[in-house]
Amino acid sequence: MNGSWLQRGKAWWCAGLLCLFLAACATPPKTGGDNTAQGFERSGRFALSVNYFDGKQDAVQGGFVWRDTGQALELDLLNPLGNTLARVQVEPGQATLIRSNGATEQAAHPDALVEQVLGSPIPVGGLRDWLQGRTGDASVQGLENNSNGQPQLFSQNGWRVQLLRYDTYGPTLLQMNRNDTNRTISVRLVVNGG
């Protein structure tokens, strides 16, 4: 194994992780840039870093395009040059990760796909609510609202979540941090529009 292959493998791991974070909701809400009865589209940038307690680091950044028809979700992850790294498709009862080389992985639910791809469970179900500026049904600790009464800072399912710079459809800056047994994970999403 050469170092270049290993670095690409780490980048794919990080990209796969982010894909699964963004695709956490099997039926996304009908809000966003193109807010129509048929669904919506949002786009922006992402940055993901994973710091292991042994000193190793993985990081990846790029763009994303989220398309929702109301029945299905399609998420494209793009490298900084605009090329597609991976696509996630979520339909009722099925979540699929398609890598740029054509390799696919499938599971019945995005949480199951996360565990399958990464080898360890990471709860991601809250993202659907977070993208809409809500905390959802799961237990929340340390909730702080902004001056408009919108959730701004809280902890939920092991994540410390910041939702900032709201527009009509939800926060346009999301910062999520998680400390696991052997690593810390940081995800930053900046929504540019629809």
What are the pLDDT digits (tens) for 103-135? 898 988 877 777 777 666 666 667 767 877 889
What residue ranges of the chain have pLDDT lower than 50? 1-8, 23-37
Question: Would you kindly state where each structural domain of the chain is located, as residue ranges?
Answer: 3-193
pLDDT, position 125: 64
**Which amino acid, residue 103?**
A
For domain 3-193, the CATH superfamily is Lipoprotein localisation LolA/LolB/LppX (2.50.20.10)
pLDDT value for 15? 54
Q: What is the pLDDT of residue 150?
A: 97
Question: What is the model's pLDDT at position 194?
Answer: 58
CA 80 to chain centre: 17
- The pLDDT assigned to 36 comes to 46
> What is the per-residue pLDDT for 29?
40
pLDDT at 181: 86
Asked whether 75 and 66 are in contact (CB, 8 A), the reply is yes
The confidence score (pLDDT) of residue 25 equals 43
Size (the chain), residues: 194
Q: Distance between CA 19 and CA 25 in Å, rounded? A: 11
pLDDT at 143: 98
